[in-house]
Structure 1
Amino acid sequence: MTDGIVWAFWGHEPLHHYRRMGSGAASIFKNGKWIEPWYERLHAEDTIRQAAELKINLVYTHFFKGFGLRAEKEQMERTRELVQLAHRYGIKVLGYCQLNSLHYETLLDEADDLEDWAGRNADGGIDCWGGAYYRWVPCFNSDAFKRYMRKVIAYGLRHIGLDGFHFDNSYNKPCYCDRCQHAFRRYLADRLHDPERTLGLRHVSHVRIPAFSGAVEAISDPLYGQWLHYRRQLTASVHEDLFGYVKRLSEDRAIVAHNPAFPRHYGHVNRIGYEPACSPDAVDIVFAENDGFIEMTEQGMKTQIEAYKYGQLFGYQVFNSSWLKDGQGNIRVPETSEEICLFEAEALAFGGICGSPWLMRPLKNGSRCVMDRADHTKTLADIFAYFSEHSALYTNVRRTNPVKVLYHPDNLMLAVKQGYLSLLAVVQSLVLKGTPFSYCMLDDMREVGDSDLIVLPGIDYISDAEVAAVRALSDKGHPLLVVGSFAAYNECGVEREPGSPVLEERDSIVRLPCRFDAAKYDPRKHFSAMSANIAHFDRSFAEVVGEMVSGVRISFSQPGLLCETASDAKGHYLVHVINPGNTETIDSLTVSLTFPLDGGQPPYAHCELYSFELAELKGFEWIDNRLEIDVRSLKTFCTLKLYGSSVKETAAIGAKG
């Protein structure tokens, strides 16, 4: 359903939202004299034709902002006309659907009981989104709200003709209404068979939701921990309900996309009540809206790789809608071909969806938008055409990365800052050394190879059963790299006896102590921290990983490159290479792949290079168990495809694309 997509933003909010928001809002979109002509252009046939010529085949546009079906009817008709026009050009349309705002000034016309739908803060007042007093936040336990959203979905599919939905802000803020207090107590009663042992309480009949703390760095209050369990399950249930309803009503044809403000920084369950592991089958696409636009900065390199890795793990695809900012912190669009190429190369290499979140952004000059910049559009056109021709290299592929990093939701939820910094330190170190890796989870190890290295990043909160599962991995011969501490607490936060041998010492287990310079981590600039030296290992992390990996090892003659490996539908071995410093071309690059041959024949006899630029494959040579590939003129990106099982055949050396 989502294979081969080339996507674009197409104006996600109706005109009356900009008018109500005014011109003082901290947004790239605000009320200005250019808004109306720009908005009209979004709906023009010539604009849609240009999109089709660029190979764009999916857009998302305005549909429901929370003003109500009556108040938004006129603009929804514009959406219906746009859908009909787009379909004539082979373009599917997702309708933007706001999940965290009730614009009471108009929605009260349809719902007299709207106040009962609204979430409440700790002092009993109505919670508002982003501090905007006219945008009430709904309670996810409100059946009336959920019934209304079904009505919105049905209208979008049946009358507007949408091909799916972009559910924005689909997260769960803390709510303290009576409905949620009762629901939380019911959850505790069902989940805790012995509340005395877990909470020190004989029963939970009178407990109340704890006061929210956005600054919490570790969960010590057991009731607060149970509340986080409850909140992430509540969000998952809402996502599952929406997904099931959309799929049933559309006979499984419509696409479901969510923007849950993830990933951004540590404490995602505490901040937004969202954990992707709780509902991995309830979404097709996730928006990664954050500061992770790939770029080289004075502090180092920022990437969106973390978000793409979550998509690989949980089986959804990623729309990269990250923010690129200027020196004053203002959101801007890419200005150079190099910036655009890096953005698209990262999506291709790591399994994201090719496209542009900025192509139709207004230039604040009449109807003009970024699409009018000829050099900008030419760069996108070349990349989109390349992807359309070579999509088999990037879709329906199986990741073959030899390093697996254990993703543990409970540890990230309860260890909060330390748990996340441990994970971030491992990811940061692997990314910056160009070491291909994937996430894995203990309850699903199907994609973990028999000899893959498994990294355990500071997993302190883990159950006895999960500790046993980790031991079993070691028993099967998996090398384990334990970074920082391990299993200091059980899943309820009960401390284990200090010094107890949770994991027996053995040759296949290596422990790597790690300390953090937490002062260098700024949660408001999370992705900048990807390159900050927040972690201090007792030994070189890259050196330890290199010693422990027994699968294919990859190295480059040039430092600072990003790398990903995969296998396509025909079994070809793929190596994606990105040069983040693409303002300068690498004239000559040697890519070395060391294979564990064990006396056997080299596995590949042919090599081809693919790129949307002018990179060239000059040659390749086997030296014992090492394959050396000579690449010339690498600017941003290339894919190397290895295949053929007999070295007696003539090596096919060529450049494609």
Structure 2
Amino acid sequence: MQFTIGWMHDLPMTELTSTARTRPDWLRRGCVAVGNWEPLVFQRRRGTWRTVDEAEIYEREHSEQTVRTLVDLGVNMVITHFYKGYGLRAEAEETEKAVALARRCRAHGIRVGAYVQWGTYHPETLVLEVPDCERWARIDRDGRPALPYGSAQSFRLKACPNRPGVLEYMEQVVAAAVDMVDPDLIHLDNFNLGRLHDACWCDDCRASFEAFVRQAYPPDRYREVFGYPPEATLRRPDLRAPVHEVFRRRIWDPAVRAYLDWHCDVSRRALRRIVDFGRRLKPDVIFDINTGGLNGVNVAGMLGMDSAGLYPLVESFWDEEHCVPRVRPEGGLTSKFRSYKLTRNYDLLQFSYCGNMDHDDRDAGKWLAESLAFNRNVALYVDHYPGSRGFWPATGPGYVRFLREHESLFATRRPVSDIAVVRVETALTPSFDDDWAQQMLAEQYLFERGRAFEILFGSQVERIGACRVILLAGASAVDDAFEAALRQYVNDGGGLVIAGAVGRRDEHQRDRGSNLLDRLLDRRNLPMPCRAAKIGRGLVAHVNQIVPSVPYPQEESFDLGGTYYDAWRLPANAVALDRALAAVAPDGLRFEPDAPHGVVFEYYADDEGHQVHLLDLADRKGLKCTLTCRLDRRPVDARLITRSGETACAISDRSEAVEITIADDQFDTYGILLIRDADGARS
């Protein structure tokens, strides 16, 4: 198995395998969750959100009356505080409240999640329990503890998982949570090691990096990649600024790339150890991690966070991207669809904030609708917690009721994709240049055009055969195995659209002397852009590049907070991409919508036909659009289901396809189009 960052030598599969993930039945039926994971000690020590009645509010959060309110609101999951990093002994009094709350919740049929702070700890109190915990801290090159939250929260330190005692104590925390709370879910918060240039300089990390390099690079490969004789020791890079500032456009230094992959590997191994430990204690517990979100920037390159390596180890993912699904004033569409599509490829439940005190009911409603439309195992997380200073949107009950009324539709749906766009890690992880821009624009194009598509990682290349068309952009560096898989895919009859100079470099960023398109065509004359060339039983077309409608942010703008919403617009040459897709799929795609700007679609199959989830990101009342369908069996019934009722939709024959007309004057934000064939039609 090759490392998912993409440039490492093969390591034994046993090095990466975790115990089997659990899939309890309740995970399929939809999760409506709230949380109160900030214990009072943290609220007081941090100093923000404080009020004179904070103790009374905190008691109310744990009360029987609040639990009854949660039941009335349709909540079936509460994620409550258990360990915030102060120590099991220091938090014992607050933990008793959490245990009592868990007992009350279960009495009313509400499942319980236990919050565990992974990323930071508080030595001021933990030292009373673990006298040498100061040594756990991640340190900088001068030996000083790193401050993940800066001087404003200097009482919080970040633990280094390579330090002796750190993971052992986390196992104690998980064991205590299982014993005291018996949780259905364990949430690991702040699961990251920090940015690469802030990474730990302790002796344990140095030794771990050197051992990793020796294992990942046998002597012959060591010399090939680094130029060194095997007896030379590769020292960890000294990054004194964010990687995108050091390298500007691309990480060329192979030692930094190796360091990045080691950074990812430390996280993978730590997570695998804790998850395996927890599952041995409670096989049906699910694990949820918060890595900060997948917000359109290079998370792997900045944080050393390998999503494709972490997702297979857990059952749930927490996304903290706060972009509101909407039509922006300049016309672009923002949404968390990327995060939903990536996590559902690993069959993960995804928690995303659906409303908070900084947004109004309309925003909250679209967040809830977006989760219903795109979330593989539906989870609605409503921020914040009733009984506190919380916010429960007025739109919330309607969406929860809709989920419950149509639970079977959500439980049985399976994503349908005609197109796959692939995030090739060998190109994107070391990239802070056009690769990321091209990738984001390709995804944006498919989203705004309403295509049935999925987003894969390059390490999932074995799955591309299930899609009719592959759109490959932002992949300037590919390895031989990925290229061979693409060649086989096209030879077997697949359609491939290439945008830009794909495959110019190998996984070590070495120039190959030709692009992937040249090699696929054996350097024959290339077809004109948007025209198809035959390879085996398949077709290949290309466009020179995906052209942004506005200048894409430059590399100096890269930051974890910069999510480029302004640039998330339909590409300027979207029509050229339309033509290229049509050229490689001459018989047409299964679904082709014609809808007002801002209406987006997600497609599923179920046991009775198909579901099309429609989401209007513009604040409009009513909807009229058409959907051309090319399905194996002709639809005989189409109905639009919304929170306000059900509307029959007209079906018309169009040559080799059918056209479904959707017209509902009462449509508000979200609905499901049910398409049924003769066997699945309702009487």
Q: How many Å separate the matches in 2 of 1:215 and 1:343?
A: 33
Q: Which moved more, 1:620-629 or 1:268-277?
A: 620-629
Residue 278 of structure 1 pairs with residue 309 of structure 2: yes
1:188 is aligned to 213
1:577 is aligned to 614
Q: Which runs of 5+ in 1 are unaligned?
A: 24-29, 325-330
Residue 518 of structure 1 pairs with residue 537 of structure 2: no
Report the CA distance between 1:152 and its aligned residue.
0.4
Is the contact between residue 557 and residue 591 of structure 1 (CA under 8 Å) also seen in structure 2? yes
Is the contact between residue 176 and residue 209 of structure 1 (CA under 8 Å) also seen in structure 2? no
Report the CA distance between 1:204 and its aligned residue.
6.4
Q: Which runs of 5+ in 2 are unaligned?
A: 1-23, 527-532
Is the contact between residue 346 and residue 578 of structure 1 (CA under 8 Å) also seen in structure 2? yes
Report the CA distance between 1:441 and its aligned residue.
4.4
Q: How many Å separate the matches in 2 of 1:439 and 1:369?
A: 35
CA change 1:631–1:448 in 2 (3 A) is farther
Is the contact between residue 157 and residue 164 of structure 1 (CA under 8 Å) also seen in structure 2? no
Q: How many Å separate the matches in 1 of 2:296 and 2:466?
A: 33
Is the contact between residue 344 and residue 354 of structure 1 (CA under 8 Å) also seen in structure 2? no
Report the CA distance between 1:180 and its aligned residue.
0.7
Report the CA distance between 1:219 and its aligned residue.
0.8
Residue 109 of structure 1 pairs with residue 103 of structure 2: no
Report the CA distance between 1:62 and its aligned residue.
1.1
Q: Residue 332 of structure 1: SS of its match in structure 2?
A: coil
Report the CA distance between 1:176 and its aligned residue.
1.6
Q: How many Å separate the matches in 1 of 2:464 and 2:132?
A: 51
Task: Summarize deviations over 1:351-403 as a string: whole Å, max 9, x none.
Answer: 253323314278xxxx55324xxxx34x3222112211212222342211211
2:190 to 169, 185, 203: 169
Q: How many Å separate the matches in 2 of 1:291 and 1:204?
A: 49
Is the contact between residue 38 and residue 369 of structure 1 (CA under 8 Å) also seen in structure 2? no
Matches within 5 A, 1:143-154: 143-154=164-175
1:214 is aligned to 242
Is the contact between residue 157 and residue 163 of structure 1 (CA under 8 Å) also seen in structure 2? no
Q: What letter matches 1:595 in structure 2?
A: R
Report the CA distance between 1:332 and its aligned residue.
3.5
CA change 1:341–1:531 in 2 (3 A) is farther
Report the number of matched residues: 619
CA change 1:133–1:72 in 2 (3 A) is same
Q: What letter matches 2:610 in structure 1?
A: Y
2:581 is aligned to 545
Q: How many Å separate the matches in 2 of 1:118 and 1:461?
A: 37
Q: How many Å separate the matches in 2 of 1:584 and 1:214?
A: 43
Report the CA distance between 1:111 and its aligned residue.
1.6
1:395 is aligned to 411
Is the contact between residue 561 and residue 578 of structure 1 (CA under 8 Å) also seen in structure 2? yes
Q: Which moved more, 1:433-442 or 1:52-61?
A: 433-442
Q: How many Å separate the matches in 2 of 1:595 and 1:502?
A: 33
Q: Residue 223 of structure 2: SS of its match in structure 1?
A: helix
CA change 1:168–1:530 in 2 (3 A) is farther
Is the contact between residue 260 and residue 301 of structure 2 (CA under 8 Å) also seen in structure 1? yes
Q: Which moved more, 1:616-625 or 1:97-106?
A: 616-625
Q: What letter matches 1:384 in structure 2?
A: V
Q: Which moved more, 1:495-504 or 1:116-125?
A: 495-504
Is the contact between residue 639 and residue 674 of structure 2 (CA under 8 Å) also seen in structure 1? yes
2:65 to 33, 37, 46: 46
1:82 is aligned to 101
Q: Residue 293 of structure 1: SS of its match in structure 2?
A: coil
Task: Summarize deviations over 1:474-519 as a string: whole Å, max 9, x none.
Answer: 1111111112221121111222124683322533111112255233
Q: How many Å separate the matches in 2 of 1:34 and 1:422?
A: 52
Is the contact between residue 297 and residue 560 of structure 2 (CA under 8 Å) also seen in structure 1? no
1:223 is aligned to 255
1:264 is aligned to 295
Q: What letter matches 1:206 in structure 2?
A: T
Q: Which moved more, 1:195-204 or 1:532-541?
A: 532-541
Residue 135 of structure 1 pairs with residue 156 of structure 2: yes
Residue 18 of structure 1 pairs with residue 63 of structure 2: no
Q: Residue 411 of structure 2: SS of its match in structure 1?
A: coil
1:592 is aligned to 627
Task: Summarize deviations over 1:171-191 as a string: whole Å, max 9, x none.
Answer: 122222111111111111111
TM-score scaled by structure 1? 0.88
Q: Residue 502 of structure 1: SS of its match in structure 2?
A: helix
Report the CA distance between 1:43 and its aligned residue.
0.5
2:370 is aligned to 346
CA change 1:228–1:535 in 2 (3 A) is farther
Task: Summarize deviations over 1:410-429 as a string: whole Å, max 9, x none.
Answer: 32212244332221111111
1:565 to 586, 596, 603: 603
Report the CA distance between 1:68 and its aligned residue.
0.5
Residue 418 of structure 1 pairs with residue 452 of structure 2: no
Report the CA distance between 1:117 and its aligned residue.
1.6
Q: Which moved more, 1:113-122 or 1:39-48?
A: 113-122
1:301 is aligned to 333
Report the CA distance between 1:254 and its aligned residue.
1.2
Q: How many Å separate the matches in 2 of 1:469 and 1:261?
A: 32
2:677 is aligned to 644
Report the CA distance between 1:530 and its aligned residue.
6.6
Residue 60 of structure 1 pairs with residue 60 of structure 2: no
Q: How many Å separate the matches in 1 of 2:182 and 2:45?
A: 27
Task: Summarize deviations over 1:315-368 as a string: whole Å, max 9, x none.
Answer: 21210127x7xxxxxx734422x3233111111111253323314278xxxx55
Q: Residue 128 of structure 2: SS of its match in structure 1?
A: coil
Report the CA distance between 1:640 and its aligned residue.
1.3
CA change 1:275–1:135 in 2 (3 A) is same
CA change 1:536–1:368 in 2 (3 A) is closer
Q: Residue 57 of structure 2: SS of its match in structure 1?
A: helix
Q: Residue 39 of structure 1: SS of its match in structure 2?
A: helix
Is the contact between residue 333 and residue 598 of structure 2 (CA under 8 Å) also seen in structure 1? no
Is the contact between residue 617 and residue 632 of structure 1 (CA under 8 Å) also seen in structure 2? no
Matches within 5 A, 1:447-458: 448=464, 452-458=468-474
Q: What letter matches 2:576 in structure 1?
A: S
Q: Residue 280 of structure 1: SS of its match in structure 2?
A: helix
Is the contact between residue 57 and residue 90 of structure 1 (CA under 8 Å) also seen in structure 2? yes
Q: Residue 323 of structure 2: SS of its match in structure 1?
A: coil
Q: How many Å separate the matches in 2 of 1:284 and 1:65?
A: 22
Is the contact between residue 649 and residue 660 of structure 2 (CA under 8 Å) also seen in structure 1? no
1:433 to 432, 446, 449: 449
RMSD: 2.5
CA change 1:469–1:592 in 2 (3 A) is same
Q: How many Å separate the matches in 2 of 1:580 and 1:165?
A: 33
1:199 to 226, 245, 256: 226
Q: What letter matches 1:472 in structure 2?
A: Q
CA change 1:340–1:308 in 2 (3 A) is same
Q: Percent identity?
A: 20
2:5 is aligned to none
Is the contact between residue 542 and residue 580 of structure 2 (CA under 8 Å) also seen in structure 1? no
Q: How many Å separate the matches in 2 of 1:539 and 1:609?
A: 30
Residue 312 of structure 1 pairs with residue 328 of structure 2: no
1:328 is aligned to none
Task: Summarize deviations over 1:33-71 as a string: whole Å, max 9, x none.
Answer: 353332222101111111112221111111111011111
Residue 155 of structure 1 pairs with residue 176 of structure 2: yes
Q: Residue 9 of structure 1: SS of its match in structure 2?
A: strand
Is the contact between residue 500 and residue 544 of structure 2 (CA under 8 Å) also seen in structure 1? yes
Is the contact between residue 433 and residue 560 of structure 1 (CA under 8 Å) also seen in structure 2? no
Q: Residue 387 of structure 1: SS of its match in structure 2?
A: helix
Report the CA distance between 1:97 and its aligned residue.
0.8
Q: How many Å separate the matches in 2 of 1:381 and 1:355?
A: 11
1:327 is aligned to none
Is the contact between residue 291 and residue 527 of structure 1 (CA under 8 Å) also seen in structure 2? no
Is the contact between residue 82 and residue 98 of structure 2 (CA under 8 Å) also seen in structure 1? yes
CA change 1:21–1:3 in 2 (3 A) is same
1:246 to 278, 282, 299: 278
Q: How many Å separate the matches in 1 of 2:211 and 2:604?
A: 46
Report the CA distance between 1:144 and its aligned residue.
0.7
Task: Summarize deviations over 1:248-279 as a string: whole Å, max 9, x none.
Answer: 111x2212111011213422123222112113
TM-score scaled by structure 2? 0.85
Report the CA distance between 1:301 and its aligned residue.
2.4
